[in-house]
Amino acid sequence: MEGISELLTKTKNNMTAVAEKFKQDLGTLRTGRANPQMIENVRVEYYGVPTPLKQMAMLNVSDARTLEIQPWDVSAIKEIEKALQQADLGVTPMNDGKLIRITFPPMTEDRRKMLSKTISKMSEDYKVSVRNERRDAIEKVKKAQKAGEVTEDDLKRYEADIQKATDASVALIEKITAEKEKEIMTI
């Protein structure tokens, strides 16, 4: 029984982690609105070592469409600018010698629709991951029941608990999807 409760806790945590990862991945999409998550993992060649941008500079959103990158070491500004150009963001960074500004153009209707489809596909992929967690957990509980470690009534209760966790995670993913699609259509 102790192993089953640990399994249920682990399954719920994994499902929640999938939803959080989905939210994180949505932050990296270019939506026309400035978001530091889009560039924080850009790698900059800094003294011969590829270093994440967020470790080299302060990333600020100055307005809805402008990101400012202020390096802690101003001598690295050229390398940061080069890395941003190579990151293929679809925008040109502007360097004033002390900080770099990236201005995102407004999105076209076609781009909004394409992005909405991309988000829907990502959402479905993450929901599949949650359902795979459910399937794996139910298989383990059924094996425990066949081995005599779990009664038939407990099996049904555990399956119901796993299904509740699955439903909650899928609902969270759908909520995140709806919020992001609404954001895209109103930008």
Residue 112 sits in the same domain as residue 182: yes
Q: Which domain holds residue 60?
A: 36-103
Element (H, E) at 123: helix 109-146
Task: In whole angstroms, give the CA distance from residue 126 to residue 123.
Answer: 5
CATH number at residue 177: 1.10.132.20
Claim to verify: residue 58 and residue 112 sit in the same structural domain: no
pLDDT digits over 44-84, tens only? Answer: 888 888 888 888 888 888 887 888 989 998 888 889 888 88
Reading the chain (187 residues) residue by residue, the pLDDT tens digits are: 458 889 999 999 999 999 999 988 887 776 667 777 778 778 888 888 888 888 888 888 888 788 898 999 888 888 988 888 888 777 888 888 889 998 887 778 888 888 889 999 999 999 999 999 999 999 999 999 998 888 999 999 999 999 999 999 999 999 999 988 888 877 6
- Match 């993992």 to its residue by tokens: 41
Verify that 131 and 180 share a domain, yes or no: yes
Domain shared by 124 and 156, yes or no: yes
Q: Is there a single domain that holds both residue 24 and residue 43? A: no
Q: What is the pTM of this model?
A: 0.71
The set of long-range contacts for 78-87, using a CB threshold of 8 Å and a minimum separation of 24, is 79/44, 79/45, 79/46, 80/44, 80/53, 80/56, 82/44, 82/45, 83/42, 83/43, 83/44, 83/45, 83/53, 84/39, 84/42, 84/53, 87/39, 87/42
How far apart are the C-alpha atoms of 32 and 112, rounded to whole Å? 9
Task: Note whether 79 and 11 are same-domain residues.
Answer: no
Of 103, 125, 146, the residue at which a domain comes to its end is 103
94, 152: one domain: no
Q: Are residues 132 and 92 in the same domain?
A: no
Is 15:126 a contact under the CB 8 Å cutoff? no
Which of 61, 87, 103 is the last residue in one of the domains? 103
- Same-domain check for residues 41 and 20: no
Which residue do the tokens 């249920």 mark? 8
Q: What CATH number has the domain bearing residue 55?
A: 3.30.1360.40
Of the residues 55, 85, 103, the one at which a domain ends: 103
Residues 79 and 116 in one domain: no
Distance from C-alpha of 76 to C-alpha of 89, rounded to nearest angstrom? 20
